[in-house]
Structure 1
Amino acid sequence: MTEHAADAVDAQATAAHLKERLYATITMISVVIGLEASGHVDAVGAAATVVTASVGLWLASLVADQQAHRVTHGAFARGRELRAMLFVSSPLLLAAVGPLVLIGISALGAMGLHTALLTAAGVNVATLFAWGCYGGIRMGGGAAFALLAGAIDAAIGTAVAVVKAASGH
């Protein structure tokens, strides 16, 4: 593989990794708002739900990627291809870290679970804003464009939270 081709593959994997990170962030907003809205969960139950959602999405992504690879290439992904799948899907696990830390802080009594879950959602919306701004800057559109891109991403995350809260589950 030429250096240019390797750079293109690396850029493609990085783009897919970021896409999964954004997807996982939006999904985690939905999970923590759903937990907060339920009102019937303790810290252990909230942590279990966050871990289950994160691991479940990660496994589903790996199964789908592996199946797509088998259909396309007629064989299981191994070696570099499997490592690329794991790299791309890792944000589905990493998205749980922030909420789990906040739930843990809640379990230690430093804040209420309600506050921890809302804070986790807020941090995830802020993360979407930051990624949107970064993308706007990378596109060369200037500060106003970057802020607009960040605001759009944050609005999507906020809309997910509002819809989830309004639905009551």
Structure 2
Amino acid sequence: MTERAADAGDTARVAETAAAQLKERLYATITMISVVIGLAGSSHVEAVGAAATVATASAGLWLSALVADQQAHRVVHGAFARGRELRTMLFVSSPLLVSAVGPLVLIGASALGVMGLESALLTAAGVNVATLFAWGCYGGIRMGGGAAFALLAGAIDAAIGTAVALVKAAAGH
């Protein structure tokens, strides 16, 4: 293999890894919207319980992603992922843990009396919807469609996040 072909392969691998990590980040963001809206709709939750729910939801998603990735790797390659492959799995799935940081900070602010718990949870949902909008806009810009296309892409992504929130709120969970 020539040096140029090897460089192109490395570049493609890096791009695929970045795309996989972003996919996990978006999935985690949408999931966290659902979790915090569900908590905001509960009249019996306190800050400690909300924090525990957010943390366990995030950790559960992360562990399930690792189990699924490892199982898929074993089926395809006939061996456990180790070394670079395992580090890549951990890197790609890390947004599933990071998605809890914002809501946990806001829940912590609530526990300190800065805001009410319901306000903290709804703010966390709003920030996550705004994050989806920003990623949608960025994707639209990267596609070269111009500002109007970027705003439309952002609005569609934000609408998906809002729909998740509304369905969760309507279900009363």
Equivalent of 1:138 in 130, 142, 146? 142
Report the counterpart of residue 90 of structure 1 in structure 2: 94
Matched, 1:123 2:154: no
Cα distance in 1 for residues equivalent to 2:79 and 2:43: 47
Paired residue type of 2:27: Y
Report the counterpart of residue 158 of structure 1 in structure 2: 162
SS at structure 1 position matched to 2:144: coil
SS at structure 2 position matched to 1:2: helix
Cα distance in 2 for residues equivalent to 1:10 and 1:90: 16
**Structure 1: gaps spanning 5 or more residues:** none
Cα distance in 2 for residues equivalent to 1:117 and 1:110: 13
Report the counterpart of residue 21 of structure 1 in structure 2: 25
TM-score (norm 2): 0.97
Q: 1:148 deviation in Å?
A: 0.1
Report the counterpart of residue 82 of structure 2 in structure 1: 78
Paired residue type of 1:138: R
Report the counterpart of residue 50 of structure 1 in structure 2: 54
Matched, 1:114 2:115: no
RMSD: 0.7
Report the counterpart of residue 105 of structure 2 in structure 1: 101
Report the counterpart of residue 65 of structure 1 in structure 2: 69
Cα distance in 2 for residues equivalent to 1:71 and 1:12: 20
Cα distance in 2 for residues equivalent to 1:12 and 1:38: 39
Cα distance in 2 for residues equivalent to 1:87 and 1:148: 30
Matched, 1:10 2:14: yes
Matched, 1:147 2:151: yes
Cα distance in 2 for residues equivalent to 1:114 and 1:32: 9
SS at structure 2 position matched to 1:110: coil
Cα distance in 1 for residues equivalent to 2:57 and 2:6: 39
Q: 1:38 deviation in Å?
A: 1.2
Cα distance in 1 for residues equivalent to 2:156 and 2:6: 38
Q: 1:84 deviation in Å?
A: 0.5
Q: 1:61 deviation in Å?
A: 0.1
Q: Report how many aligned residue pairs link the two structures.
A: 169
SS at structure 2 position matched to 1:38: coil
Q: 1:29 deviation in Å?
A: 0.1
Cα distance in 1 for residues equivalent to 2:118 and 2:19: 34
Cα distance in 1 for residues equivalent to 2:94 and 2:43: 30
